A and B are shown apart, each in its own frame.
Chain A
Amino acid sequence: MKNWIVTLITLLVLSPIVAQKMLTRTGVIHFSSETPIEKIEAESAQVASIFEVSDKMIAFNVLMKSFKFDKALMEEHFNEKYVHSDKYPAAKFKGTIIDDLDLANLNLNEFVQVSIKGEMHFHGIKKPIQINGKIKLNDNNSFDFECDFPLTLSDYNVEIPSLIEEKIAKEVMIGVKANYKKS
């Protein structure tokens, strides 16, 4: 009887540490397209993301309408002509960290490189991708995550009219920053 109680108490004490579901509502995703003619960039600061430490799983959801542009016309064209945000309101990524790392026991305040293998879901297309990024455990028990990766627009059926082909890069750079806290 005593052993059973001890085991139960041990499990209850350890479970918050082992089964850590971390989250953020204010992840930042920045994308930029640079050509000799024009630089187009936008940012969303309300990216929803979860990080399951023990499962090494990271998932992102970003609403396309939450991307902010400097110019109204660019924002309008982005939503209505390129990503069709009414039809495909969100871009999603879900993946697993494939490195052999004990994420719950990282050195404090030190970024470590990670590779994440997963699936991107954008503009109605699902595609397996691998992202390289870095993770840091902070002394307040939050995690910082950062990564940069290129995204080829045509892979996701995003069509650029031939008239403005030279203004938009075929490959855009995506930058992600998130600070995860316990849920």
Chain B
Amino acid sequence: MKKKIISGILVLLIGCLIYGFYRYNKPPQSLEDVKSELFFSAKELSNKFVADQNKIAKRISKKVVEISGVISSVEFTAHSTLVIVGKNIKCEFQKKHEDFVVGKQVSIKGVYGGFDELFNEISLIKCQITN
């Protein structure tokens, strides 16, 4: 009986250690399989930031936001792609999207990363294309 309890506790302990190890080393979650929670056109979101930045920032914070609009600029870096959608929404993708061109109509989901005050741009990070 004692042996069974001790083995039981050991299994539990090892299980906890393995889980802890897995959680500690887990890479940041991709939004590929995560559903969008809020939807805006690029124009709509840009206008909301002009109207009341704090209000809209609070609303979209920590939520998966989906925007639709036209790509106005594309830039590739070593491991990522940065596009500006509409007037001032900058979206960062963790891979090279060679198919992104200026003028392309896109729907993108991402998480709000903040408002860049140098260029007055709304930042969306961990972006995924949805169309």
Q: A61-95 toward B: CB 8 Å interface, digit per residue (1/0)?
A: 10111101111110100000000011001101000
Contact B90 A25, beta carbon cutoff 8 Å: yes
Binding site for A on B (CB under 8 A): 23-29, 61, 75, 77-80, 82, 84, 90, 92, 94, 111-119, 121, 123, 125
Chain B residues near A48 (CB, 8 Å)? Answer: 116, 118-119, 121
Instruction: Say if the beta carbon of A96 comes within 8 Å of chain B.
Output: no
Shortest Cβ gap from B70 to chain A (Å): 18
Top 9 A-B residue pairs of the complex, sorted by shortest distance between their CB atoms = A63-B114, A89-B114, A61-B118, A65-B113, A48-B118, A72-B28, A45-B77, A72-B26, A26-B77
Interface: A131 (CB within 8 A): no
* Given A46-B80, A65-B113, 7 more pairs with CB closer than 8 A: A25-B84, A46-B125, A48-B121, A61-B118, A66-B113, A73-B23, A90-B116
Contacts of A40 in B (CB 8 A): none
List residues of chain B with CB within 8 A of the CB of A92: 117
Q: How far is the CA of A73 from the CA of B24 in the complex (A)?
A: 6
- In the complex formed, the residue of B with least CB distance to A24 is B75
Determine whether the beta carbon of A75 is less than 8 Å from that of B28. yes
Asked whether, in the complex, the Cβ of A26 is within 8 Å of the Cβ of B75, the reply is yes
Which residues of A sit under 8 angstroms from B24, Cβ to Cβ? Answer: 71, 73
Q: Name A121-154 residues within 8 Å CB distance of B.
A: none
Task: Tell me which residues across on chain B come within 8 A of A28, comparing CB atoms.
Answer: 77
> Are the CB atoms of A45 and B80 closer together than 8 Å?
yes
